[in-house]
Amino acid sequence: MSSVQSQQEQLSQSDPSPSPNSCSSFELIDMDAGSLYEPVSPHWFYCKIIDSKETWIPFNSEDSQQLEEAYSSGKDCNGRVVPTDGGRYDVHLGERMRYAVYWDELASEVRRCTWFYKGDKDNKYVPYSESFSQVLEETYMLAVTLDEWKKKLESPNREIIILHNPKLMVHYQPVAGSDDWGSTPTEQGRPRTVKRGVENISVDIHCVNDFRSVSLNLLQTHFKKAQENQQIGRVEFLPVNWHSPLHSTGVDVDLQRITLPSINRLRHFTNDTILDVFFYNSPTYCQTIVDTVASEMNRIYTLFLQRNPDFKGGVSIAGHSLGSLILFDILTNQKDSLGDIDSEKDSLNIVMDQGDTPTLEEDLKKLQLSEFFDIFEKEKVDKEALALCTDQDLQEMGIPLGPRKKILNYFSTRKNSMGIKRPTPQPASGANIPKESEFCSSSNTRNGDYLDVGIGQVSVKYPRLIYKPEIFFAFGSPIGMFLTVRGLKRIDPNYRFPTCKGFFNIYHPFDPVAYRIEPMVVPGVEFEPMLIPHHKGRKRMHLELREGLTRMSMDLKNNLLGSLRMAWKSFTRAPYPALQASETAEETEAEPESTSEKPSDVNTEETSVAVKEEVLPINVGMLNGGQRIDYVLQEKPIESFNEYLFALQSHLCYWESEDTVLLVLKEIYQTQGIFLDQPLQ
């Protein structure tokens, strides 16, 4: 008991100044030490779990001010909801919890913060609880008013906080004394800095450099004039989550049982990402994926309009990897006219794109086989199941030979002709443009018919989107590969999405999943994709250096060959004037032929470089409204050392790429007549 009493007596006494050794481990805070007390200015934070560790992130100044005004309004906080982060999150003030609006995410704790201490490892400030911060503030107020310092407090977690003076306040982690029972904390160990208020703590910089934050930074640097003139608002980015519902079916557990234990990370990447490709080509999961994507897109759009009733802007969509292929298939199977879609915006139900598809009963009536409908209904056979039935299946159901042949022929013809033709604008007179039936050619066509963009895909009912996207951006997309595997060899230059005007295929040069689109529109011409400018202008230095060295080597090569050619002529020239004159005439006639034979392989690369620089106009069809479709990013200098090393990383680079974000912003704002402050070179 004596040790406990001595510790309690020590706790009640004022603490002497810390030793020089302990002082060296914390910083001195520059604070006004005046005798007049000024209340602390609070700031609001929220807590996120990052790598299994709590991290407190400040709200931006605008959101924090709105939360503080709601808190200080004098009204009951219970039931008060404050939208934050541009409306993407709602803060329930009474609960002190932050909830995502448009997607599923774990709720995070919210705290009104005034006092902080520095963390152990990352040196980030951690806020005290609101109740203990109030105790600290009251103690600080008394110390300033009475000019009595060296106050010692114990937190609910048994941490020791000592207020030596306004410039020196420290925090000790609890260290148990010699007696395990009833022991009291001591100020042993390394002290940590205690801070009052958020001064010198950055509250406007997010810790995650994602697509949204990159776009906000680029607005300040590339669209400053339009912002100052209030011509534009910011672009909101809302994610569409379809991956989680697909992997919640239990198939992941089944796969884990058969996955080999070696190269664990690569196998996890394969199971988690590449597996979705097989899902999408499976009749079991393809319909689920398409329905989930379309329903989420419609739900998010409807919810956004409900929360932003004055919104008058357009909507563009972006898909990464397999997501871009899913969007491509959905857009391809939309209707040209949305009809009464405006009246359906408030409904979360998906309108299935079935058109005027007749029912099974109507099909049988058309074939004059209505008497067999009861048999199919009894066997629970619908149109999709009947289309999969064989002659033997129908025979086992008791269908006679004649009706069997009629049914099999009808559904076989219907399956082959599904979606072949699609209306298209008539070409100008005299233009040599393929008909719409030549949207693509295939080796398995017959009787001059051509298959549509959806060939090779499993039978899917594509839902209808309740809005018309302005632009479709595809990042790291395998669309070209999938269309080729499905049997497409050529895309009709007249083809365009029924409800979307623009299409950009954006990829990193080392992305192993990305494929081009333009060669499918113009198969007979070889040309480079459009090089996306660096967001600071010009090309990256290593690319300019590489092209400069290429041009220099070609010039040296051509000059050397020219000098050798002239030297050879001088050695082989005849000494007699008559022969010299006739030989010169022969040389002038033969020179074009010889130059067209030998130096051609020398000039080929030089010509290609010149073509790159001049960017000759190329007709790539109407899929992007007559504009170029394929856009390639510039690799970073370190990436050019080893393409294979950065292959997987390049497939994920788009969300943090300033060049990608700037291209997206530029194209979106151009639809509203807004352009960059200064065009990029």
Whether 477 is a known active-site residue: answer no
Tokens 């999405």 correspond to: 497
Whole-angstrom distance, CA of residue 516 vs CA of residue 496: 17
> In whole angstroms, what separates CA 251 from the centre of its chain?
26
Task: Write the DSSP symbol of residue 413.
Answer: H
At 390 the three-state DSSP class reads coil
Residue pair 255/271 in contact by the 8 Å Cβ criterion: yes
Residue pair 278/271 in contact by the 8 Å Cβ criterion: no
Which segments of 35-135 are extended strands (E)?
43-50, 53-58, 81-84, 89-92, 97-100, 108-113, 115-118, 125-127
For 585, the token pair is: 């005439």
* Residue type for position 461: K
| List of residues 6+ apart from 194 with CB closer than 8 A | 115, 116, 117, 161, 163, 169, 170, 171
- CA–CA distance from 364 to each of 57, 384, 539 (Å)? 64, 14, 65
Tokens 């060049």 correspond to: 659
Query: Which residues lie across from 92 on neighbouring strands?
Result: 81, 97
Task: Write the DSSP symbol of residue 530.
Answer: E
Whole-angstrom distance, CA of residue 550 vs CA of residue 540: 16
For 239, the token pair is: 């994610």
Query: Which residues lie across from 463 on neighbouring strands?
Result: 352
Which run of H or E residues covers position 632?
strand 630-632
Q: Are strands 89-92 and 43-50 parallel, antiparallel or unpaired?
A: unpaired
Which run of H or E residues covers position 664?
helix 658-670
Tokens 């010699």 correspond to: 178
Whole-angstrom distance, CA of residue 98 vs CA of residue 121: 26
- CA–CA distance from 7 to each of 155, 158, 442, 464, 635 (Å)? 16, 14, 89, 73, 64
Question: Of the listed 64, 215, 316, 321, which one is catalytic?
Answer: 321
Whole-angstrom distance, CA of residue 252 vs CA of residue 271: 8
- 179 closest CA partner among 2, 423, 13: 2
For the packed helices 600-614 and 541-572, what is the interaxial angle rounded to 10 degrees?
Answer: 150
Which run of H or E residues covers position 364?
helix 360-366
- 487 closest CA partner among 539, 420, 544: 420
Q: At 478, phi and psi to the nearest 5? A: -95, 20
Which run of H or E residues covers position 229?
none
Count of residues in the chain: 681
Residues with active-site annotation: 321
